[in-house]
Structure 1
Amino acid sequence: MTTKETFSLHGENLLKKIKELIAEGNIRKITISDKSGKELLSFPLTIGVVGALLAPVFAAIGALAALIGECSITVEREEKSKEENGPDTKA
C-alpha cells in the first residue's frame, strides 16, 4: 500500500527536509513542486540507495533550493499492513 504526504516549506529548508525523509527509510518517491503546483523535480528511491549514490540528487536539490522560494514536497511512502504480512499464527 502506498500513501502520499505533502509538506510546504521554503527553499532554504528543502535539502534538510529531504535528508530527514530519506533517513526514515520507507520512502518510494519524492516530488518537488513550486508554489503553483508545477513539478520541478521527481526522483524514486529504492531500497539500498545511500551515500554517494544520492550525492548528485542532493546537489540538484541544493541548486533548486537556491532558486525557489516556497515549494512543496510530495512523498510516496510504502506502508506494510498486518494483512500483507499474513495473520498472526502464534499458539
Structure 2
Amino acid sequence: MTTKETFTLHGENLLKKVKELIAEGNIRKITITDKENKELMSFPLTFGVVGAIFAPVLAAVGALAALIGECSITVEREQE
C-alpha cells in the first residue's frame, strides 16, 4: 500500500528536502512540480539503492532548485 504526501517549498530548500526524504528510506517515488502543477522532474526510488547512484539525480535537483521559485514535492511512501 502506498500513500502520497505533498510539500510546498521554495527552490533554495528543494535539494535539502529531497536528501532528507531519500534518507528516510520508505520512499517509492518523488515528483517535483512548479506552482502551476506542471511536472518538472520525477524519479522512482528503489529500496537499498543509495550513494553514488543518486549523485546525478541530486545534481539535477540542485540545478533545478537554482532555476525555480516555489515548487511542490509529491512523495509516494510505501506503508508496511
Do the two structures share a fold, i.e. TM-score over 0.5?
yes
* Structure 1 residue 49, shift from structure 2 partner: 1.1
Corresponding residue for residue 79 of structure 1? 79
Structure 2 residues without counterparts, runs of 5 or longer: none
Count of residues in Structure 1 that have an aligned counterpart in Structure 2: 80
Say which structure is richer in strand: 2
Corresponding residue for residue 54 of structure 2? 54
Q: CA RMSD in A?
A: 0.4
- TM-score, normalization by structure 1: 0.87
* Structure 1 residue 48, shift from structure 2 partner: 1.4
Max radius of gyration: which structure? Answer: 1
Runs of 4+ aligned residues of structure 1 deviating over 4 Å after TM superposition are none
- Sequence identity (%): 84
- TM-score, normalization by structure 2: 0.99
